[in-house]
Structure 1
Amino acid sequence: MWNLIQLHLFDCLTKRQTCIILLLLLTFSCIVYLAIEWAFIRQWINVSPIPLYDNNTLLILWYNKPVWINEFLVNKGLGTCPYSNCKTTTSKALISKSASVIYVISSDGVPRIPPVSAAHRNKDQAWVFFNLEPQTLYRINFGPEWTYVMNWSMMYHRDADIPYPYGAIELRNKSQSVRDKKNYGAIFDGKSVFASWFVSHCHVQSRRDEYVEQMQKYGVQIHIFGSCFKNQLSLPKNDPQKIDKVLYQSKFYLAFENSFCEDYVTEKFFERFNSDTIMVVRGGTNYTKYFPPGTFVNAADFGNAKKLAEFLIRFGNNKSEYTAMLRRKDMYVSPQPQLVYCKSYCKLCEMLNNVDKYRKTYKTIREYVDSKPCTAPKDIE
């Protein structure tokens, strides 16, 4: 009898210990779960103000800055902006202190996953995707980790959050007037070359090499500088004096873009606009809508190379019409690229100082890029 009582008591004690152990394990698990949840939630609600480099500077981090961007000149320009409290850097160590991070989406250097997770990122830190290349020349290789992380676009498109054009055309003020100082008749008489073209990339999306061959077929004499067409004339891109001499001697300069993309107008147009030559443009944008009519010849107005060639031959040999266009062109000026780019950085700085006003998030970069499709040329015979 006594043995049965002992066995029964031991059985009850064992069950109680088991229950206590299970209860302790459950309690411990709940504590761990709540601690993890609180740590996750706290990352979202315990957010500091806009990150500052020091007491009054908003830092802009170039995560993978292009080599052609001069950081010294950019910062010098930022100092002249209406909001002059922004500064750029390339030091990734300062990412947590930066008000903005710029990623060049067409270049190497962007990591597979974002360098800062959404949980650890300041909610007021603006991530900007930057690109000046047409969609035909690069791929979007951003995985799902980059969903809902980008805030602003900084592109050559006119409707970008921060437009970054290659250049601009502005009306000259009276102090800049050059028309009374030039002998346009002498300029025309000094032209010894009908048309010139500087080209470094052959067989591109715009099929400009085929178009030029068709122009030549219909009688337009073109001096081609660069490696295309098995050409022997070297490209004088690092010799400004030689470039000026070639342009001065040429009646026309071909500013043909490599891709037919809306708003894609490069330095081919802007850097040559101030020269004493007439630009012949061919690209995917509406040049007449955005630039002063009567200051250039637009290939799109003629439909094909044959009709353009016929016009150029007639127009290029009409001294009065040609010099009239030169005079009209000199009413306008293409400012230095640094001055144009400075406006873009000033816009970025203004947005960073008013981040609530401009707050937005893109689902994906591709969503924006795909909304700006490039088109195939329709003027090739």
Structure 2
Amino acid sequence: MLGLAVPRCWGPWRAWSGASLFSALWLLWLFWEAPGGAPAPQRTLTILVWNWPFARRPPELRSDTCARLGVAHCTLSTNRSLLALADAVVFHHRELQTGQARLPLAQRPPGQPWVWASLESPSHTHGLHRFRGVFNWVLSYRRDSDIFMPYGRLEPRAGPAPPVPAKSKVAAWVVSNFQAHQRRVQLYRQLAPHLPVDVFGQANRRPLCADCLLPTVARYRFYLAFENSQHRDYVTEKFWHNALAAGTVPVVLGPPRASYEALVPADAFVHVDDFGSARELAAFLRGMNESQYRSYFRWREWFQVQRVASWEQRFCAICTRYPHLPRDQVYQDLQGWFQA
């Protein structure tokens, strides 16, 4: 069973309920603006990135990196000699987890905020018990993070929406990590007998180049935006890039529907939990008429997808939030918080 079946009614488009609209506007405001209308700090802040994510050597950072991304009075640096002078230091968890990076606890200046950063799910995050009482702030995809950093967001569209790409096939899925114990694999195997699904990626020896992914997926009516694990607020590029940006309807397996509705209109996606079985889900997808299908794209009239893809953008956002974050906060049980 996928969950309790939820009846759906078709009629006038109702995606932007008051709650959904409020949630979306609140997220845009939170990301770009300082709460309370307080002015941005005029003093230039220095954010020291102790270990650059997934890199043996840090990139060359321009002095105006943050300014070019729209964040003033903010400097990113990977120069560890600035530890004593940095306004905040950010540590990416993967390198701490693997031992490629270590915390400079003995050299930590008193009162200096340290930021724990990770976009991985709890299923792929280990060793947090070692960091009790170390970090002050968290940068992650969790909406209750100190620096909320989603994989993508909707932003207002400046011009007319492009047409929905022409469809010639039913459903696509791009997957590299294919393991029998994953819920997404189990669901796919239940769904495949009832729904034509073309599988791409390393798992099926049909990889798609970076420039091939979106044009390929765009030909399909649906994309299986199945997360590798189901956790609170864990909505990745599979949803934002592979589906919404490609111009297809995502069929999502991840956190509960409410987590998605806090990010996009309620009728921008199909959630597997709304159906009692894979057969019922397949019947719903195959039985959808053209009018019903088109209703899933109404959000494109007002919004477009903005993918948050660069670590420079994520780390510069620390400066935006900096004046409004609690200086006396310490995560005494980071593991308990993140795995909740």
**Alignment TM class, shorter chain as reference:** 0.7 to 0.9
User: How far has the Cα of 1:329 moved from its partner?
Assistant: 4.1
Greater displacement, 264-273 / 245-254: 245-254
Match of 1:106 in 2: 94
Among 46, 51, 54, the alignment partner of 1:59 is 46
Match of 2:331 in 1: 362
Query: Residues 340, 270 of structure 1: CA spacing in aligned structure 2 closer, same or farther, 3 A cutoff?
Result: farther
Give the TM-score normalised by structure 1: 0.68
- 1:178 is matched with which residue? 161
- Residue of 150, 158, 168 corresponding to 1:192: 168
What CA distance in whole angstroms lies between the structure 1 residues aligned with 2:160 and 2:310?
19
Partners of 1:73 and 1:223 lie apart in 2 by 43
Q: Rg: which structure is higher? A: 1
Report the CA distance between 1:171 and its aligned residue: 4.1
**1:115 maps onto 2:98 in alignment:** no
Deviations 1:182-238 (A, max 9, x none): 3x6xx5xx4222111100111276421111111112x2001100233xx24x221x3
Question: Greater relative contact order (Cα 8 A, min sep 6): structure 1 or 2?
Answer: 2
The more displaced of 197-206 and 62-71 is 62-71
Supply the distance in 1 between the matched residues of 2:233 and 2:227 (Cα, whole angstroms).
11
Structure-1 residue corresponding to 2:207: 235
Amino acid at match of 1:253: Y
Task: Sort the Cα spacing of 1:339 and 1:110 in 2 relative to 1 into closer, same or farther, 3 A.
Answer: closer
Query: Which residue of structure 2 lines up, in the alignment, with residue 157 of structure 1?
Result: 142
Q: Call closer, same or farther: CA 1:333–1:351 in 2, change over 3 Å.
A: closer
Structure number having the greater helix percentage = 1
| Superposed displacement of residue 139, structure 1 | 1.0
Query: What does the per-residue CA deviation read over 1:64-117, in whole Å, with 9 as the maximum and x for residues that have no partner?
Result: 2114796648952355556x22212222222222221111223334656x4133
SS at match of 2:218: helix
Cα separation, 2, equivalents of 1:353 and 1:327:
37
**What is the root-mean-square deviation in Å for CA atoms of aligned residues?**
3.0
* Residues 338-371 of structure 1: per-residue CA shift (max 9 Å, x gap): 59973x545421444466x54311214223223x
Q: What is the CA-CA distance between 1:264 and the residue it aligns to?
A: 0.3
- Aligned partner letter, 1:126: P
2: CA distance, partners of 1:337 / 1:73: 19
Equivalent position amino acid for 1:201 in 2: N
Alignment-derived partner of residue 314 in structure 1: 287
Change (3 A) 1:80 1:133: closer
Structure 1 gaps, min length 5 = 1-55, 373-381
Q: Quote the Cα distance in structure 1 between the aligned partners of 2:311 and 2:53.
A: 17
Are residues 70 and 306 of structure 1, via their aligned partners in 2, closer, same or farther at CA, if it must alter by over 3 Å? farther
Matched to 1:106, the amino acid is R
Give the distance between the partners of 2:323 and 2:179, measured in 1 at CA.
Answer: 45
Alpha-carbon distance, 1:335 to partner:
1.2
Amino acid paired to 1:314: G
Task: Give the CA deviation at 1:267.
Answer: 0.5
8 Å Cα contact 2:46-2:74 kept in structure 1: yes
Name which of structure 1's ranges 160-169 and 65-74 shifts more when overlaid on structure 2: 65-74
Tell me which amino acid in the other structure corresponds to 2:266. P
Q: Distance in 2 between the 1:249 and 1:298 partners?
A: 21
The superposition leaves residues 50-76 of structure 1 with CA deviations (integer Å, 9 ceiling, x where unpaired) of: xxxxxx543212222114796648952
Indicate the SS of the match to 1:335. Answer: strand
**2:265 paired residue number:** 292
What is the CA distance between 1:177 and its match in structure 2?
A: 2.0
Shift of 1:301: 1.2
Q: Give the corresponding residue for 2:244.
A: 273
Aligned runs of 1:133-148 on 2, under 5 Å? 133-140=120-127, 142-143=129-130, 146-148=131-133
- CA 111–73 in structure 1, closer or farther in 2 if over 3 Å, else same: closer
Equivalent-residue separation in structure 2 for 1:323 and 1:273 (angstroms):
13
Give yes or no for contact 2:161–2:300 (8 Å, CA) kept in 1. no
Q: Matches of 1:290 and 1:351 in 2, distance apart?
A: 20
- 1:78·1:345 contact (CA, 8 Å) conserved in 2? no
| Greater Cα shift, 268-277 or 72-81 | 72-81
Residue 196 of structure 2: aligned partner: 221
Alpha-carbon separation, structure 2, partners of 1:259 and 1:99: 35
1: distance between equivalents of 2:134 and 2:156?
Answer: 40
SS in 1 for 2:76: strand
Looking at structure 2, the residues matched to 74 and 283 of structure 1 have their Cα atoms a distance apart, in angstroms, of 39
> CA 1:215 to 1:292, structure 2 compared with 1: closer, same or farther past 3 Å?
same
Amino-acid identity (%): 29
Is this contact kept in 2: 1:165–1:341, CA < 8 A? no
**C-alpha distance 248-111 of structure 1, shift in aligned 2 (>3 A):** closer
Give the direction of change, closer, same or farther, for the CA distance of 1:246–1:273 in structure 2 (3 Å limit). same
Q: Which of residues 319, 326, 329 is equivalent to 1:349? A: 319
Q: Which amino acid aligns with 1:161?
A: D
Per-residue CA distance 1:276-301 (angstroms, 9 max, x = gap): 32111111243234320212211121
Decide whether aligned partners of structure 1 residues 225 and 105 sit closer, same or farther in structure 2, where only a CA change above 3 A counts.
same
TM-score with structure 2 setting the length: 0.75
- Deviating more after overlay: 265-274 vs 329-338: 329-338
Equivalent position amino acid for 2:269 in 1? F
CA separation in 2, counterparts of 1:121 and 1:334? 40
Secondary structure at the aligned position of 1:63 is classed as: strand
Identify unmatched segments of 5+ residues in structure 2: 1-42
